[in-house]
Amino acid sequence: MAVAFKDVVSAAERVREHVHETPVLTSHLLDEITGATLFFKCENLQKVGAFKARGGANAVFSLDDSTAAKGVATHSSGNHGAALARAAKLRGIPAFIVVPSNARAVKIEAIRGYGAKVILCKPTLQAREDTLAEVIKDTGAVEVHPYDDELIIAGQGTAMLELTRQVEGLDAAITPVGGGGLLAGSTLVAAERGIPIYGAEPRGADDAFRSMQSGELVRQHEPDTICDGLLTTVGERNFEIIRGHVREILLASDDEIAEAMRLLWTRTKLVVEPSSAIALAVVLNHPDLFKGKRVGLVLTGGNVDLADLPF
């Protein structure tokens, strides 16, 4: 059964005790620079430092007791793994996280910090999937896909549901897009609320953009971007939702993303990672599209390796 707006509402009730209702911040200076009125949904202040705490909690707390007892498993470059590990710890069940060897050290340590078993693999999607299959075979754990999963999509959509309740009269909404869990879940909310929604994607990892242009899902690409949270290709369930409602996928270069990240750090004092800053970067790139509009932007995470800043 396809995920729908009502599933996002149900997810919001399910995860309420396990996640923060994150604040919405504004900046007069950034409004002046962009010509828009911007509302930043601060998921960088979320549990595990990212919106993925929402999907992880929704997936884990949706399992019946006998299934949950076997544990959960996934592959992740960091934030989803930490989110699933935390949710599993809260429920008292095992978590097995397959992580590519090139993942940020700060994110690997976060996963371990929540008590999950980390299994390193080669930094390719095929290696991640093959290693995860072996882990599931050996442990009997339940797979929780990082983005191509109804419960994950519904859980991630709760961030946009909160934003629309916190800020009335939005003219547009923007979320980054990697695998598409957040954008798909947010799209369900935006469509219900009548709000135009856009995806923000790095030029060096533009599979969602190309998929929207061709109408067919791009399944293979070689990403090259500082946005380590946006390296994966869009999932099938996610694309079905996105292509039906998302207005456009907007692109930004790594240099533009780094500049947006610097602006957010210095002007709002928010610690955000590049995968978050891209939402502001695409507004800066498209001033005519958003001029005079009230725009909601989801700042997706703040798990930054301070030894590897892009500015």
pTM as predicted: 0.93
Percent of the chain with pLDDT over 70: 99
In the structure, what pLDDT confidence band is assigned to residue 78 with cuts at 50, 70 and 90?
confident
- Say if residues 108 and 99 touch (Cβ distance below 8 Å): yes
Q: What is the mean pLDDT of residues 282-295?
A: 97
Average of per-residue pLDDT values in the chain: 94
Digit-coded pLDDT (tens) for 224-266: 999 988 988 999 999 999 998 999 999 999 999 999 999 999 9
Check residue 1 and give its pLDDT: 59
Q: What is the mean pLDDT of residues 48-54?
A: 94
User: What long-range pairs does 258-266 form, CB within 8 A, spacing at least 24?
Assistant: 258/226, 258/310, 258/311, 259/284, 259/311, 260/284, 261/310, 261/311, 262/311, 263/30, 263/33, 264/40, 264/299
